[in-house]
Amino acid sequence: MSIEVKMAWRNLWRNTRRTVLTIAAIAFACLLLVFMLSWQFGTYDVMINTAVGIHSGHLQVQAKGYNDKQAVYQVVPDPASVSAAVAGVPQVTAHTLRAKAFAMASSARRTYGAMAVGIAPASEAAVSTLAKLIFEGEFLAKTDTDQALAGRLLAQNLKIGLGEELVLLGQGRDGSVAATVVKIKGIINSGQDVFDRSTVLIPLGLFQESFAMQGTVHEVVLRCRSLQDVAPVKLQLQDKLAAQIKSDTLVVLDWTELMPGLLESIKLDLVSGFIFYFILIIVVAFSILNTFLMSVFERTREFGVMLAMGTTPGRLTRILLFESSSMTLIGILIGALAGAAVTQYFAVHGIAIADAAEILREFGLPERIHPRLSILSVTIGSGIVLVITFTTTLYPAFKVRRLIPVQALRA
């Protein structure tokens, strides 16, 4: 061990109380950041997975312009060939077909506007979480022809229960009147009011027949192995569609394009989070700057002696930097470990926020939030603290080089 490291280490413990307090300040900041970032990343994951699970899937193939207008005539004309193209992509775990149209839903007593969605029950269950959101009754089966699932709030508004009849009246692909009668087989509760208030799910076959779809659909919905696969799959699929189908009327959209608000609200949350963290660390930095400054100023005579005996200013700077960086590193280490421990505890047990259940539900979050410990949250949290505190320590370490031995000895 070089002499500098040894001296720095001993200097550190000449004033135990001060060193401990400084380390504690750094550890506190680091702990807080690790925890908060894990919290944020954890909620984002759940938000994205819920939204992707209920609404969009990871990717969709649609007719160009359908995403903006959602008009019933904007169809994917040959879903079988798109299916074939999708099936050849290894990262895609499942895909399903959907068709959607606005319809008037009438029970015996009430009429409400609703979004009728035709789904293929078997593949839908593999792609989305809809099958798991059954509140009452059962999910559609492959053999069902005139059964339907209604959102919980819609069923409540329509005053309709299991087994009762529902009339759907809308406009078909060719402008004709689309009408059909279905029986309620199940009630769906996603927790997201807009969805639960407006959705009726019916078998795709029935939809195609009633809405004059002639075998076409509106969306081919894909689920990938993970979020990371989305970008490469999208590129691959775009090429395939262009080559195999030779059609420029189809587009491949990923979940960020299908739900632009979601990603941006996450960005917004992240940015505002970082503003808070940044201010916090600046406060911590000034809090500990005094420790570093004082440990230099109160030793002016000592440095004078060392300089007079021939210690180079470079060596003094190195000693001081070793001192401050070991304090910083110890603080960050303790903070990161404690932060990880606290995070892990809550990752297992979850945190309930009083009175927030309703807000959380709107964003597809459960009542108890589980922060998610990840390499990313630990390294980003520690990294920010490291950079800012280390910058703080540079000033005193370089200031010492300007000492003149004679003056320093008189101090």
Q: Is 114 a binder of another protein (CB under 8 A)?
A: yes
Crossing angle of the two packed helices 313-349 and 300-308, in degrees rounded to 10: 130
Of residues 292-311, those binding another protein (CB under 8 A): 293-294, 297-298
Q: 131 vs 288, which CB is nearer to another protein? A: 288
Q: Is 351 a binder of another protein (CB under 8 A)?
A: no
Q: Is 386 a binder of another protein (CB under 8 A)?
A: no
The residue ranges of DSSP E strands in 152-207, in sequence order, are 165-171, 177-188, 199-203
Q: Is 31 a binder of another protein (CB under 8 A)?
A: no
| Closest approach of another protein to the CB of residue 282, in Å | 6
Of residues 357-376, those binding another protein (CB under 8 A): 358-359, 362-363
Q: Is 261 a binder of another protein (CB under 8 A)?
A: yes
Q: Is 276 a binder of another protein (CB under 8 A)?
A: yes
Q: Is 29 a binder of another protein (CB under 8 A)?
A: yes
Q: 132 vs 267, which CB is nearer to another protein? A: 267
The whole-angstrom separation of Cα 51 and Cα 227 is 13
Structure token digits, residue 343: 């995070």
Phi first, then psi, for residue 150 (nearest 5°) are -120, 150
Single out the residue of 5, 104, 212, 333 in contact with another protein (rule: CB under 8 A): 104
DSSP per position, 75-100? -BS-HHHHHHHHHT-TTEEEEEEEEE
The whole-angstrom separation of Cα 179 and Cα 171 is 8
The whole-angstrom separation of Cα 62 and Cα 49 is 21
The whole-angstrom separation of Cα 402 and Cα 171 is 84
| Closest approach of another protein to the CB of residue 256, in Å | 10
Single out the residue of 74, 198, 317, 328 in contact with another protein (rule: CB under 8 A): 198
Q: Is 279 a binder of another protein (CB under 8 A)?
A: yes
Rounded to 10 degrees, the C-alpha dihedral 365/370/371/373 comes to -130
- Per-residue contact string for residues 83-102; x = within reach of another protein by CB under 8 A: -------------------x
- Output the CA–CA distances (angstroms, integers) from residue 314 to 310, 311, 401, 403, in the order listed: 11, 8, 7, 12
Nearest to residue 120, comparing CAs of 223, 205, 48, 63?
A: 205
| Closest approach of another protein to the CB of residue 45, in Å | 17
Judged by the rule CB under 8 A, the positions of this chain that interact with another protein are 17-18, 21-22, 24-25, 28-29, 32, 69, 71, 102, 104, 106, 109-114, 156-157, 159, 170-171, 198, 260-268, 271, 275-276, 279-280, 282-284, 286-291, 293-294, 297-298, 353-356, 358-359, 362-363
